[in-house]
Amino acid sequence: MAEDIRERTTLPFGVPLGIFAVVAFVVFLFSRILLNVPRQVAVAVALMTALNVLITCGIIALRKVEGATKFALLLVIAVPLVIGASIATKIITVKVPPKVVPPAPPVALSAKNLAYNPPNLTLPPDNATIDFKNEDTAPHNVHIFDGPDGNAPSLFAGQIVNPGGSATYKVTGLKAGSTYFFRCDVHPTQMTGKVTVAAAGTSAAGGKVSTGPIQLGAANTAFAKSQIDIAANTPTKVILKNADSAPHNFNIISGPPPYAKPAEQPQLAQPGASVTYDIPGLPAGQYQFQCDIHPGNMKGTLTVH
């Protein structure tokens, strides 16, 4: 009686669950094969396996197959899956998508009063982008030479930009740690500058990306450094220590859209005092900062990585 009850309860539940477990295991092994081979090979393997299953099931359905023969036919399906799965897990490595390195942020350069601002650029190795703005009344461009002056071989010649216009220059072939000469082809003797290429593994500004409060000094109507590097989308602080005899402040005046200059002038640091300025998390790119009291002498570039 007990055995009869066990058969009535075990078979209706145990057999379907057992079959489900076997099917799930086989499907898992088969998925490992398909995920670890090229797409074209995966399609071929799937079609051949489906054909194998159909033929085997057809033989079992049309012919009276019992015992060892039926087991042998099931092995025709199972053995290739097991062998294929073993090969896939032991020999074939899982395809890992290549790491995508984001491009370096563009470097801002402007022309005004027959002069470049800034006259010295620091660019990343290999490829760089220069956002050039002509704020002058005459046309200008940027021509980079592979050497100390304009007699060296030409590396890059940008299009001439009319007054009030702008252009995005894509420069390639920059060697890490090298220096280059650049000039305006329209005013070759008046408008010149120098490009320094950052060493491999450093920022375009040649320094380390700051992860904490940034100490910035001010003395003799000048900032202690004109290049600052911070991480993108990470709020930080700039602590301005004024060792000068005049008041100064720190203000980020421009950057990539949609950045806008603060509506109110940041707090002034009086002589001998220090003021902490909060910088919100900024998108990657190059921003310009200055002292609002002495914008001509106290300015620099904030690069967000």
Q: Domains of the chain: which residue ranges? A: 17-90, 107-197, 214-304
Indicate the fold that domain 214-304 takes in CATH: Immunoglobulin-like (2.60.40)
Q: How far apart are CA 257 and CA 203, in angstroms?
A: 22
pLDDT in tens, 117-160: 888 888 888 889 999 999 999 999 999 999 999 999 999 999 99
pLDDT in tens, 199-238: 654 544 445 566 678 999 999 999 998 888 888 888 899 9
> Could you say which DSSP state residue 158 is in?
P
First to last CA, the chain: 77
Measured CA angle at 125 (ends 123, 127), to 5 deg: 85
Give the range among 95-109, 197-211, 258-272 with minimum mean pLDDT. 197-211
As a dihedral over the C-alpha atoms of residue 136, residue 137, residue 138, residue 142, rounded to 10 degrees, the angle is 10
Q: How far apart are CA 194 and CA 171, in angstroms?
A: 14
36 pLDDT band, cuts 50/70/90, is low
pLDDT at 16: 67
Upper half-sphere CA count for residue 224 (Cβ side, 13 Å): 12
Indicate the fold that domain 107-197 takes in CATH: Immunoglobulin-like (2.60.40)
pLDDT at 305: 77
Give yes or no for residue 246 having a pLDDT over 70: yes
Residues in the chain: 305
Strand partners, 123: 197
pLDDT at 206: 46
Task: Quote the tokens at residue 294.
Answer: 């002495």
Q: Which residue, among 107, 146, 145, 108, has the nearest Cα to 128 in the 3D structure?
A: 107
Question: Same CATH fold, 214-304 and 107-197?
Answer: yes
Residue type, 74: L
Calculate Rg over the CA atoms of the chain. 34
pTM: 0.44
